Amino acid sequence: MGLDEHMHDVVVVGGGIVGLATAREILHRRPGTDVLLVEKEVEVAQHQSGHNSGVIHAGVYYAPGSLKARFCREGAARTRDYCTEKRIPFSDTGKLVVATNPAEVQWLDELTERARTNGLTVTPLTADALREREPHITGLAALHVAATGITDYPAVCRALASDISAAGGVVRTSTAVTAIAESAASVTLTLAENGWETVESARKVIVCAGLQADRLAAMSGLNQGANAFQIVPFRGEYYRLPDTRHDLIDALIYPVPDPEMPFLGVHLTRTIDGGITVGPNAVLGFSREGYRKGSISLRDVASLARFPGMWQVARTHWRTGLAEQRDSLRSQGYLDLVRRYCPELTVDDLLPEPAGIRAQAVLRDGTLVHDFLIRRTDRTTHVCNAPSPAATSAFPIAEHIVDLAEVAT
Ligand SMILES: Cc1cc2nc3c(=O)[nH]c(=O)nc-3n(C[C@H](O)[C@H](O)[C@H](O)COP(=O)(O)OP(=O)(O)OC[C@H]3O[C@@H](n4cnc5c(N)ncnc54)[C@H](O)[C@@H]3O)c2cc1C
């Protein structure tokens, strides 16, 4: 690097909620730090942070004592405080987890214990109490979780971007990182910006690239051999209920999740604009950023096919995978999942709604990573897996990343 070239203190890659909260946290801790955030899309929150269920999770499911459990509780409170401060709408809807068969009733009992150990106030409901609370929902038993809410995460992301700019940082959109080169003294990023190639240097780089996390980690030599991981895109397809159904539910309605899978099952979610969405399912995607049904990216399919862990996932979860593909193609199949707890819905109630795509890290041996996964070199910190509820937990996750990266101490 020449003497006249500028070196940033920190470059953050990725304008999703995790990257934005991280850049803001650095500037909050150490005002005056030279922070540049680069995002390849024209605006922030164009991927997972802008295509999700909008739920402020309470932290029912996560192993007591785990980072995920702590981050979720703290994150939910911090998200509400931030929304209040920035006048972003949020609502404390509460949620019901509904068991519809005896095996689920047993698992619901375990979830009740887990939620209490995680410090949540939850109320078990009998079938009659459930019907009294939610007349359109049926089940053998349910668990009411008061601390669940909803908000507008794209609005949260836009507010975070404004905070970064107001604190002297720079948010540069339409700028993709295409190469990372690290030396003893700095990190050089090659950037593609409106057809031009530029470079930027930084003392430290923090990468929060969601669906592209494995490719960025590979650029830092952090995704090789036995340590290799792959981002597998799981499409989350939604429907929206018609206006006539908007008084169908009071709280959010969730099934009891499959403990083997990192997804929560097709739920009924009230949205901040007054609507109700149905979904998301979890279908293997053939394009990481292709939101239309049937989207295929040859590059993404080829990297799935080459990755040994993917074949292991296929062997272990082929039954669930096939059922998800079938229900994705037949709206009747999808509807059957919801009718287990809301029998009065019909196919005509399922109106089209855009899908979201989850970035799910899978290890070489086929393990689906349920928790956060962060890898580091001397000067780079890569967030390799930031699954749900990372939108809820963004503020404490950002603190954790800034601690690990040692950028504002
Ligand atoms: C269907 C669905 C439902 C969900 N529901 C909830 C929920 O209700 N509540 C909750 O708490 N969580 C939910 N989640 C999870 C949550 O949305 C994500 O965990 C969170 O948004 C992850 O944020 P992120 O910043 O890591 O990723 P992203 O939001 O995906 O951001 C990554 C960013 O990096 C950018 N990027 C990638 N490569 C490059 C590059 N080379 N150069 C520059 N920029 C790059 C991308 O363009 C993108 O903007 C859901 C997720 C999905 C998909």
Digit-coded pLDDT (tens) for 10-46:
999 999 999 999 999 999 999 999 999 999 999 999 9
Rg (CA), the chain: 21
pLDDT band at 331 (very low <50, low <70, confident <90, very high): confident
- The pLDDT of residue 80 is above 60: yes
Q: What is the mean pLDDT of the chain?
A: 94
Return d(Cα 215, Cα 322) in angstroms, integer. Answer: 27
Q: How far is the CA of 210 from the centre of ligand 1 (A)?
A: 5
- Rounded CA gap, 274 and 224, in Å? 46
Least confident of 165-169, 240-244, 332-336: 332-336
Q: Which of 137-146, 250-259, 320-329 has the lowest mean pLDDT?
A: 320-329
Element (H or E) spanning 326, and its range?
A: helix 308-329
Q: Which residue's C-alpha comes closest to atom 31 of ligand 1?
A: 16
Domains and their CATH numbers in the chain: 8-405 (3.50.50.60)
pLDDT at 67: 87
For residue 180, what are the β-bridge partners?
189
Dihedrals φ, ψ of 26, to 5°?
-60, -45
**Does pLDDT of 262 surpass 70?**
no
CA pair distance 18, 394, nearest whole angstrom: 5
Ligand 1 atom nearest 209 alpha carbon: 34
Q: What is the mean pLDDT of residues 106-134?
A: 95
- 75 in ligand 1 pocket by Cβ < 6 Å? no
Tell me the mean pLDDT in the region 154-183.
98
Query: For residue 319, what pLDDT band results from cuts at 50, 70 and 90?
Result: confident
Mutation probe of ligand 1 site: the residue of 39, 40, 42, 52 with most atoms within 8 A of C-beta: 52
Q: With bands split at pLDDT 50, 70 and 90, how would you rate the model's confidence at 259?
A: confident
Is-contact 298 306, C-beta < 8 A? no
Q: What is the mean pLDDT of residues 144-157?
A: 98
Rounded to the nearest whole angstrom, what is the distance from the C-alpha of residue 106 to the centroid of ligand 1? Answer: 33
pTM > 0.75: yes
Q: Which residues of 53-63 are buried (b: 16+ CB within 10 A; e: fewer)?
A: bbbbbbbbbbe
Give mean pLDDT, residues 367-386: 95
pLDDT interval class at 405 (50, 70, 90):
very high
pLDDT at 151 over 70: yes
Give 190-222 pLDDT, tens digit per residue: 999 989 999 999 999 999 999 999 999 999 999
- Is the CB–ligand 1 distance for residue 356 below 6 Å? yes
Average pLDDT over residues 234-238: 94
Distance 30 CA to ligand 1 centre (A): 26
Q: Say if residues 364 and 240 touch (Cβ distance below 8 Å).
A: no
In the predicted model, is pLDDT for residue 223 greater than 70?
Answer: yes
| Residue 29 CA from chain centroid, whole number | 25
Cβ contacts of residue 54 below 8 Å, gap of 6+? 150, 151, 152, 153, 269, 271, 272
Predicted confidence (pLDDT) per residue in 167-180, tens digit: 999 999 999 999 99
Confidence of residue 382 (pLDDT cuts 50, 70, 90): very high
Q: Please say if the pLDDT value at position 2 is more than 60.
A: no
Is the minimum distance from the CB of 40 to ligand 1 under 6 angstroms?
yes
Average pLDDT over residues 375-383: 98
For 333-374, what is each residue's pLDDT tens digit?
Answer: 889 999 999 999 999 999 999 999 999 999 999 999 988 999
